[in-house]
């Protein structure tokens, strides 16, 4: 992981929602697409952040945790959103069968919870979001895995709506 240039204090779940919405506002766009790793302990807020991002991208459907389905997909105006949760993965072969690499690149945004469980079949990240417990609250550290991720982070860092919601600890 490239050194973490951004971190935020997330005092409550609405702050995690605000981060998800900020990620959607600054998303590189459907023409480029993106893969995001959501890392962090059980209950650290990965699904909360993903759900908020998907809704802010325009998904009106209910976004559930894909813990049992492993992959849920949603479509909105030229963008396919792929929400993945590899927590319950039984074997590395199972992730191969998911064909995740065919669901990345232009036209796709892929959000992956528990990417560390997937091994080599998991597409490389543009952005890595690490959530952490801070007592009852959470914090988030965001790093880039690609040049697209770097420019995404640069936009996020100057997003005033997000800054109004969560404090940047960087
Ligand atoms: N910043 C926050 N402060 C306090 N609670 C939060 C915060 N963000 C999310 N939560 C709460 O934490 C709980 C677990 O969130 P969530 O399901 O998003 O975690 P998760 O990381 O996806 O868990 P899992 O590892 O099981 O997939 C929810 O009740 C959510 O509202
Ligand atoms: Mg989850």
Going by the DSSP 8-state scheme, the letter that residue 165 receives in this structure is H
User: Is residue 61 domain-resident?
Assistant: yes
User: Which residues place a Cβ less than 5 A from the ion ligand 2?
Assistant: 46-47, 65, 113
- Nearest ligand to the CA of 39 is 1
The pTM of the whole model exceeds 0.85: yes
Q: 17 CB under 6 A from ligand 1? A: no
Q: How many domains does the chain have?
A: 1
Q: Which domain holds residue 137?
A: 2-158
Q: Does any ligand 1 atom lie closer than 6 A to the CB of residue 118?
A: no
Per-residue confidence band for 1, with pLDDT thresholds at 50, 70 and 90: very low
Expressed in angstroms and rounded, the spacing between residue 113 Cα and the centre of ligand 2 is 6
Query: How would you write 46-111 as a 3-class SS string?
Result: HHHHHHHHHHHCCCCCCCCCCCCCCEEEEEECCEEEEEEECCCCCCHHHHHHHCHHHHCCCCEEEE
Give residue 169's pLDDT.
78
Residue 73, domain CATH: 3.40.50.300
Cα dihedral value 9, 15, 149, 67, nearest 10 = 110
Alpha-carbon gap, residue 90 to 88, rounded angstroms: 6
| pLDDT tens by residue, 43-68 | 999 999 999 999 999 999 999 999 98
In what helix (H) or strand (E) does residue 128 lie, and over which residues does it extend? strand 127-134
Q: Is the predicted pLDDT of residue 25 greater than 90, yes or no?
A: yes
Sign of CA dihedral 93, 94, 98, 100: negative
The CA 139 to ligand 2 mean position distance, Å, reads 16
Flag whether 163 is in a domain: no
Confirm whether 165 is domain-assigned: no
Residue 13 Cβ inside 6 Å of ligand 1? The answer reads: yes
* pLDDT tens profile 68-126: 899 999 999 899 999 999 999 888 789 999 999 999 999 999 999 999 999 889 999 99
């Amino acid at each position: 992981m490239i050194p973490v240039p951004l971190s935020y204090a997330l005092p409550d779940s609405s702050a995690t929602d605000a981060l998800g919405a900020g990620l959607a506002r600054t998303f590189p766009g459907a023409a480029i697409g993106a893969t995001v790793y959501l890392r962090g302990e059980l209950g650290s807020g990965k699904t909360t952040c993903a759900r908020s991002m998907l809704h802010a991208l325009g998904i009106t459907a209910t976004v559930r945790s894909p813990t049992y389905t492993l992959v849920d997909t949603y479509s909105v105006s030229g963008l396919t959103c792929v929400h993945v949760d590899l927590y319950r993965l039984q074997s590395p072969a199972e992730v191969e069968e998911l064909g995740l690499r065919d669901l990345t690149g232009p036209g796709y945004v892929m959000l992956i919870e528990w990417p560390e469980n997937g091994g080599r079949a998991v597409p490389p990240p543009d952005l890595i979001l690490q959530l952490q417990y801070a007592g009852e609250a959470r914090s988030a550290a965001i790093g880039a895995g690609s040049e697209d991720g770097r420019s995404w982070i640069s936009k996020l860092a100057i997003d005033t709506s997000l800054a109004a919601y969560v404090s940047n600890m960087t």
